[in-house]
Chain A
Amino acid sequence: MLPDTSVKTLDKVVVRFSGDSGDGMQLVGNIFTNVSAGLGNEVSTFPDYPAEIRAPQGSLGGVSGFQVSVGRGVHTPGDRADVLVAMNPAALKQNVRHLKDGGVAIVDVDSMTESDLRKALFTTDDPYKELGLRAQVVEVPITSMTRATLADSGLDAKAINKCRNFFALGLICWLFDRPMDAVERFLKKKFGKKPAIFDANMKVLTAGYNYGHNIHASVSTYRVESNDATPGVYTDINGNTATAWGLIMASEKSGRPLFLGSYPITPATDILHELAKRKDLGVKAVQMEDEIAGVCSAIGASFAGNLAVTSTSGPGLALKSEAIGLAVMAELPLVVIDVQRGGPSTGLPTKTEQTDLLHALYGRNGESPLAVVAPLSPTDCFDMAFEACRIAIEHMTPVILLTDAFIANGSSAWRIPEDNEYPAIRPPYLPQERIDAGGWRPYDRNEENLVRYWALPGTEGAAHRIGGLEKDCVTGAISTDPVNHEKMVMTRREKIERIADDILAQEVIEAGVPTDTLLVGWGGTYGHLRTAAAELTAQGIPVDLAQLRYISPLPSNMGEILSRYKRVIVAELNTGMLASYLQSRFPSAHIERINKVQGQPFLVEEVAEAVKSLLKD
């Protein structure tokens, strides 16, 4: 049963600037508000001054805040902020209660000094822990970068320090796509008569904006909420963490140690970060010299008997293609995580898209089928990462897990599973009796699912050689025989197709009233499409939804589902990749399309409108 979820805070975002009362928080808050209003956003603000005009610097009493909600349907400044800017420890302490769980705290790390921590009455050196912060902390050296930016400005230290607020504003403008020229107009108005101050503030503003660009800073302004409140212990996770933890669960359930070979790339890097921390659970996470080395080290680890994973995003998937083909050919388990981002090439590194689907399915030389799965939501990343591992190991194949920037960064409350909630994963080890009987060959298969046996190096009596060359279907020795090659191509394909017998049937979320319209989506668009289908149904336009998690192979009931509907509408964040894949598999289906390629998730409303518009015809 798919979890009932909904996507929230689609249309507005709450930002809170906080610092010492001399830090100019009200000024930058106002500028951000005005620029947003100028872009057509609705705005609502809440300046939060200290009682004292100038309480002692760095003290709790001296903190000044400015909260603004911008977007659509804005009626209040917001209960709690999605993003908090804290210019010093006192500001962080005073404002942490105004920050949402799972929000983002941007902190001037230069201010986290012993003396400032004491002024803010922190008793330890770890203010985040002391506050029990349930947020993503982005530490930014705001003060030192401001100083570096203005080192040659001729301004004195005091004047330079007064520009720190504009570094913070620049970073916020990057995060929410506020154009610099609009900010510049406001600065001109305010500082037009003081060109030196205007220049300095512009420079620092631009430096802050560029810093956001350079570090690929991003915040998810979306939150996918589960409407399921099963009793249990909960925590807050984003999709990348859920992915990392799902892999660890699969390692525990398969008894195979977890190995990650990876290379940093936005927006997948947090998976590497999380698994690097998990040495405390015995995980080996290795930062290799490049993307190719990442996947190749994982393939080596798989050969040696580990649960082997590589994590990347689009450009990295392209680099890994040849090696993934090797894993197809050698028939080794391998999990490839692709956190999709905007492409092609470097594209839009921090933005979300579903444009790697055909690459995942077909992007290798030769006939090289593999399994492709896609989680529906941040928490589903846990389940589908686990499932990717299960399929990889039990079917001795590479599996590509297609998440995306939206669910990778999006967070959600998640019930921590009990140990018995996930099944054991059973590696197809070479049985000892086959070794004892002699005559075992490395491509002997289980006739039922065509899976070859996994003989782990170190096992006596099972030494064997494998590789990327075609091999004889019986002996496993190198073979260039034409008929044998075709037979092996068909066998490798059939092996993938038979995974369909080992996965869940496709579920249809029904409107509750008869309808001949089916909305089809896949992966991370689930929250939006489900909400859109529900809204359409509520408006008297009943729509069923099939959201695919298994794409290769497709669930065995997929054809039957499509044949039940007169109208099949595939909605996806690309120009029609799943639609064309389904059309090629099911030529008789009448498939219509809703597509968006803007580096942004769907809006519920635009999906609903697009469906209505199609149904008019």
Chain B
Amino acid sequence: MEQTTFPAQYKSDQPVRWCPGCGDHAILNSLHKAMATLGVAPHQTAVISGIGCSSRLPYYMNTYGFHTIHGRGAAVATGVKLANPELTVWQISGDGDGLAIGGNHFIHAVRRNIDINILLLNNKIYGLTKGQYSPTSARGFVSKSSPYGTVEDPFIPAELVFGARGNFFARSIDVELAVTQECLVAAGSHKGTAVTEILQNCVIYNNGIHSPITDRQYRPDRTIHLVDGEKMLFGKDKEKGIVQDGFYLKAVTLGEDGYTIDDVLVHDSHTPSNFLHQQLAMMDGTDLPLAIGVIRDVTTPTYNDALEEQIREVRAAKGFDSLRSMILAGDTWTVK
């Protein structure tokens, strides 16, 4: 199919004001490219955000855009999609905006399965307010608001998505441009709430937080790129794989301990059961490699389609053509 839209069409004329070296620059480029691949015209696209560094993104899009208030992006995006289901709606959020102040809206958007695409840029820190811990910061994390280390456990975004019965979850890393694009194209094609978590580096307040997993020398062994229909292989020479071990997953080296390529699982993001998807999403780069790519992509009825359908049915059944006709069908009397 001939591509009719191009990344430049999605770029606004506003100068991008993120810090030099910020992971958001790469994510913005990936989003422009993904949108061009999806081919939805800029004027049919709405990009909604809350507050935070990542939430500045709508200003850099040549689409309809709405930079709202802290944490409420998912609720605003819900209203946009329900009011005009013809629009393709993207929501940009971060770990503070989406999982702290906006946690309630996040899980309920996922539960309702509104057809919106949520980009969750996770840098495990509050950047715009200059360096406080976030709900994804690890226990013991030292920051300006936790000078002696936090005494609380973090959310794992994937776990929240599955807990809210989400049917699309993908993950990427800011520097993995091709994987990010692949995830966003899949998210944009998915009908229903699509959450894509992108591990993003805050160069000022949390530089290197993802390095133990994402640095070039570690990445082949500590991440795995899941691709539908392909064996779950990783390592520099794809010499390692994921196998089933009872109820759990295990990372093995092919040719060792009797494991062969036949033992390695094949990824299926479309299988309705989320059991294996959850296990894959929870791999954290220590014993098991962190999964990137589209982990779950299952189609179920969306809220917006169901709402339109219900309205069509009820209208057809009742047959009112105006408020007056509806009222007149009820109890009335006439004064002459």
Q: Which residues of A contact B (CB under 8 A)?
A: 132, 134, 229-236, 245, 248-249, 252, 257, 259, 261, 278-282, 284, 286, 288-290, 292-293, 296-306, 308, 322-323, 325-326, 330, 415-419, 456-469, 477-478
**Residue among A134, A257, A286 with most chain B CB within 10 A:** A286
Residue of chain A at shortest CB distance from B310: A279
For B43, list chain A residues within 8 Å (CB). Answer: 457-463
Inter-chain contact B83/A308, CB cutoff 8 Å: yes
Cross-chain contact of A297 among B63, B82, B311, B333 (Cβ < 8 A): B82
Q: Give the residues in chain A near B277, CB-CB below 8 Å.
A: none
Alpha-carbon separation in the docked complex, A293 to B336 (Å): 47
Determine the distance from Cα of A286 to Cα of B61 in the docked complex, in whole angstroms: 29
> Taking CB as reference atom, which chain B residue is nearest A306?
B83
Task: Please name 20 further chain A to chain B contacts, defined as beta carbons within 8 Å, in addition to the given A293-B78, A462-B43, sorted by A numbering.
Answer: A235-B332, A245-B327, A249-B323, A278-B326, A281-B322, A284-B82, A286-B307, A290-B104, A299-B79, A300-B75, A303-B66, A303-B80, A304-B80, A304-B81, A305-B83, A330-B66, A419-B324, A456-B84, A457-B64, A465-B59
- Chain B: how many interface residues by the 8 Å CB criterion? 57
A113 → chain B closest CB, angstroms: 26
A279 to B312, CA, bound (A): 8
- Nearest CB of B to A335, in Å: 14
Do B108 and A252 touch (CB < 8 A)? no
Contact of B331 among A132, A458, A468, A477 (CB under 8 A): A132
B67 within 8 Å of A (CB atoms)? yes
Decide if A284 touches B62 in the complex (CB within 8 Å): no
Can you report 6 A-B residue pairs in the complex whose CB atoms are below 8 A from each other?
A: A279-B311, A296-B69, A418-B324, A457-B43, A457-B80, A465-B66
Pick the residue among A248, A304, A462 that contacts B46 (CB under 8 A): A304
A261: nearest residue on chain B (CB-CB)? B79
Contacts of B336 in A (CB 8 A): 231
Within 8 A of A (CB), among B44-82: 44, 46, 48, 51, 58-59, 61-69, 72, 75-82
- With both beta carbons as reference points, the residue of chain B lying nearest to A462 in the complex is identified as B43
A296 in contact with B334 (CB, 8 Å): no
Nearest chain A CB to B139 CB, angstrom units: 28
Using Cβ atoms and an 8 Å threshold, which residues of chain A touch B63? 463
CA distance A417 to B324 in the complex (A): 8
Q: CB distance A229 to B335 under 8 Å?
A: yes
Known contacts A300-B76, A300-B77; A463/B334 CB under 8 A:
no
Partner of A284, one of B83, B326, B335: B83
A301 lies within 8 A of B326 (CB)? no
Q: B250 — which chain A residues lie within 8 A by C-beta?
A: none
Query: How far in angstroms is the closest Cβ of chain B from A449?
Result: 24
Which residues of chain B have a CB within 8 Å of any CB of chain A?
Answer: 12, 14, 41-44, 46, 48, 51, 58-59, 61-69, 72, 75-84, 86-87, 104-105, 108, 307, 310-311, 314-315, 317-318, 320, 322-324, 326-328, 330-336
Q: Is the CB of A297 within 8 A of B327?
A: no
A282/B311 in contact, CB under 8 A: yes
**How far does the alpha carbon of A469 sit from the alpha carbon of B56 in the complex, in Å?**
10
Q: Are B79 and A298 in contact (CB under 8 A)?
A: yes
B79 pairs with A296, CB closer than 8 A? yes
A267 → chain B closest CB, angstroms: 22
Contact residues in A for B83 (Cβ distance below 8 Å): 257, 259, 284, 300-302, 304-306, 308
What's the Cα separation between A300 and B74 when bound, in Å?
Answer: 10
Closest to B85 in A: A304
Which interface residue of B41, B76, B82 has the most chain A CB atoms within 10 A?
A: B76
Shortest CB-to-CB span from B68 to chain A, Å, is: 6
Chain A residues with CB below 8 A from B51, complex form: 468
Residues of A within 8 A of B307 (CB): 284, 286
Given contacts A252-B323, A308-B83, is CB(A230)–CB(B44) below 8 Å?
A: no
Query: In the bound complex, how far is the Cα of B69 from the Cα of A551, in angstroms?
Result: 28
Contacts of A478 in B (CB 8 A): 59
Are B318 and A280 within 8 A (Cβ)? yes
Chain A residues in 8 Å Cβ range of B326: 278, 280-281
In the bound assembly, the distance between CA atoms of A236 and B330 in angstroms comes to 10
Query: Nearest A residue to B334 by beta-carbon distance?
Result: A233
- Of B14, B63, B324, most buried by chain A (CB within 10 Å of CB) is B324
The answer to whether B66 touches A300, judged by C-beta atoms less than 8 angstroms apart, is: yes
How many angstroms from the CA of A233 to the CA of B333 in the assembled complex?
A: 6
Interchain nearest-CB distance for B85 vs A (Å): 9
B309 CB → nearest A CB, Å: 11
Q: How far is the CA of A461 from the CA of B64 in the complex (A)?
A: 10
Whether A234 lies near B333 (C-beta < 8 A) is yes
* Contact between chains at B79 and A259 (CB < 8 Å): yes
Q: In the docked arrangement, what's the CA distance between A323 and B91, Å?
A: 17
Query: Which residues from chain B contact A468 at a C-beta distance below 8 Å?
Result: 51, 67-69
Q: How far is the CB of B116 from chain A (nearest CB, A)?
A: 10
Partner of B64, one of A230, A234, A464: A464
Q: How far is the CB of A226 from chain B (nearest CB, A)?
A: 11
Closest chain-B Cβ to A5's Cβ sits at a distance in Å of 16
A235 to B51 Cα, complex, angstroms: 48
Q: Nearest-CB distance from B311 to chain A (Å)? A: 5
- Cβ–Cβ < 8 Å partners of A298 in chain B: 79
